[in-house]
Structure 1
Amino acid sequence: MIVWSVLVALAGAFCMALGSALQERDAVRAPGRSVAPVGFLVHLARRPRWVLGTVGAGAGVALHLVALSGAPLTIIQPIGVTGLLFAIVLSALFNRRRVRPNQIAAGAAVMVGLTGLLLLFPHSAQTPQMSTGTGLILTGSVLALGCAAYLGAHWLPPTPRVLLLATVGGVALGTTSALARVVAANTAADAAALLTWLTPLCVLIAVFGGLFQQNAYRTGHFAAAYATLLVVDPITGAGIGALLLGEGLPATPVAQLLATAAALLAIGGTVVLALARNRNPEAMQPASAEEPPAAKPDPAAAGTRASTTTTSGESR
């Protein structure tokens, strides 16, 4: 059973990476400013390849949940992190670029660091509880943070911009995971829990996180964006679990030190990916740039040239 769950988890990691790599291509090519507004998602939703990527990512999440039903979290969660290497290779393949050794090394560092974090944080089996007021404050805080980051991102070059956008996206998606965990756990005990205000808050913050995620892909630094999301999402979820859901932090000083070192390793690998000179070439030009319209002939000028030609011919 565990072997089967491991294979399912690997398939899920591949599907998530494939879906994200497909999304990147349309995110980079979409018209608009370097940091696009929410209408950007409406445009992407009309692109068949982006929709296919979304379906692939959703299938990856579903397979990951199936794998968790048959094997412990400590086995399945680290396997899900392997999607980063899948994503790096698939993105390079789709965009006809070479995968550099430093990208693989940095991706491996992110995977090792993130795996350490996932293993060191405690995982409570108790049903989490969150009031509507707490959910509103949490969601409002993330939205305020995101709006400030959205305004500031316009003034940043691509490398720091991808880290900022992907970080906010990861915070939003980590918050989504925490809210979804509360809703799902309570719905299992009482179906009426699905009808609370936490459900629309979960959907709202998920769409908000998706906007930042796609804008991060839009910078052309796909590997850095994907790595940042992989790191920030679980850290945010674990932080919310520890502070608001009573799930706790690493208990011993040694575990806390190891968790800090793992986080620094994952962050360091992410920074290396952001600095790598392997940016999607299609992101080098502003997406809103359009070819200048062909110059229309000026009738007056044409008439002047014709008159000049006729006069010249008569003089000869």
Structure 2
Amino acid sequence: MSVLVLALALGAACCLGFGFVLQQNAAQRAPLSDFLSFRLLIDLVKVPRWLGGIALMVVGMGLGAAALGQGELSLVEPLLATNLLFALALSRKQTRQPLGRQGWAGLFLLAGGVTAFIVAGRPEGGAATADPVRQWLIIGVMIGLALLLTTHGKRSRLSSGPVLLALAAGLLYGVQDALTRVSGQKAADGGFAELLTGWEPYAVLALGVTGLVLVQSAFETASLRKSLPALT
């Protein structure tokens, strides 16, 4: 495993985790009438703390894209998942609330799972080209599941809704990261001209904005400890 890839991925996870905490701090004060609406983003963009969280997330996504460009998706993604560790550490310092046995158990399971996957699984790259039918099938299933979860989450926004919305956003962000990897390869092979003629960068943007609305709606209606693990 490259030290550069490790540093980029963990740096991205740190920025993402801290950014999520700032976003949740701001989103929980937003009016509930903005739930699952693009108006929520319009309201939040006026809050400096939220903008700071978005800035950290953008930096994290940039570092994550660099890591994905240098390393394999199956290696980088588990490292990015450690953003939960950084987020809960900062959230605990802010609220001064103990994580409890369940919280600590979850953190150790995440850290242990990532370590075991990388060390024992030895993830390696797959084929250079993918079957288009298989690719579209996977994308369709992920987006379909996200839509189904969002529909159910909208009906139960104050009970299980935040977890379902965060899970839906996590599915979309997973597809987004995979397409980011593809976009990086296209840019490296054919330059930005070839990149801009493909559909992938526009799909990355659309998935990012949609996922952002879902995440902020989850943050608006639940604590970070309830919503972020599902997203991660």
- TM (norm. structure 2) is 0.78
Query: Distance in 2 between the 1:197 and 1:70 partners?
Result: 22
Query: Distance in 2 between the 1:58 and 1:206 partners?
Result: 11
Query: Distance in 2 between the 1:145 and 1:113 partners?
Result: 24
- Structure 2 match to 1:207: 209
Q: 1:228 and 2:230 equivalent?
A: yes
Query: Distance in 1 between the 2:205 and 2:198 partners?
Result: 12
Could you report, residue by residue, the CA deviation over 1:115-171 in whole angstroms, capped at 9, with x for unpaired residues? Answer: 445663843264445759x65x76665555444433322332645223211111111
**Aligned-residue offset at 1:93:** 2.6
**Aligned-residue offset at 1:72:** 7.7
Question: Percent of aligned positions with the same letter in both sequences?
Answer: 25
Kindly indicate whether the alpha-carbon contact (under 8 Å) linking 1:158 and 1:219 is maintained by their aligned counterparts in 2. Answer: yes
Deviates more, 1:25-34 or 1:205-214: 25-34
Measured at CA, do residues 163 and 4 of structure 1 come closer, stay the same or move farther in structure 2, by a change above 3 Å? same
**Aligned-residue offset at 1:78:** 4.8
AA partner of residue 16 (structure 1) = L
For the pair shown, the structure with the greater C-alpha radius of gyration is 1
- Structure 2 match to 1:104: 104
- Structure 1 match to 2:160: 160
- Structure 2 match to 1:16: 16
Measured at CA, do residues 224 and 196 of structure 1 come closer, stay the same or move farther in structure 2, by a change above 3 Å? same
Measured at CA, do residues 193 and 163 of structure 1 come closer, stay the same or move farther in structure 2, by a change above 3 Å? same
Q: 1:123 and 2:124 equivalent?
A: yes
**Aligned-residue offset at 1:6:** 4.3
- Structure 1 match to 2:220: 218
AA partner of residue 190 (structure 1) = G
Kindly indicate whether the alpha-carbon contact (under 8 Å) linking 2:157 and 2:221 is maintained by their aligned counterparts in 1. Answer: no
Query: Distance in 2 between the 1:8 and 1:147 partners?
Result: 32
Q: 1:59 and 2:92 equivalent?
A: no
Aligned residue pairs total 229
Query: Distance in 2 between the 1:42 and 1:131 partners?
Result: 37
- TM (norm. structure 1) is 0.60
Q: Let me know the Cα RMSD of the aligned residues.
A: 3.5
Kindly indicate whether the alpha-carbon contact (under 8 Å) linking 2:73 and 2:181 is maintained by their aligned counterparts in 1. Answer: no
**Aligned-residue offset at 1:33:** 3.7
- Structure 2 match to 1:181: 181
Could you report, residue by residue, the CA deviation over 1:253-310 in whole angstroms, capped at 9, with x for unpaired residues? Answer: xxxxxxxxxxxxxxxxxxxxxxxxxxxxxxxxxxxxxxxxxxxxxxxxxxxxxxxxxx
Query: Distance in 2 between the 1:198 and 1:5 partners?
Result: 23
Query: Distance in 1 between the 2:22 and 2:5 partners?
Result: 26
Deviates more, 1:166-175 or 1:212-221: 212-221
User: What are structure 2's unaligned runs of at least 5 residues?
Assistant: none
Query: Distance in 1 between the 2:82 and 2:144 partners?
Result: 32
Query: Distance in 2 between the 1:143 and 1:101 partners?
Result: 34
**Aligned-residue offset at 1:57:** 1.7
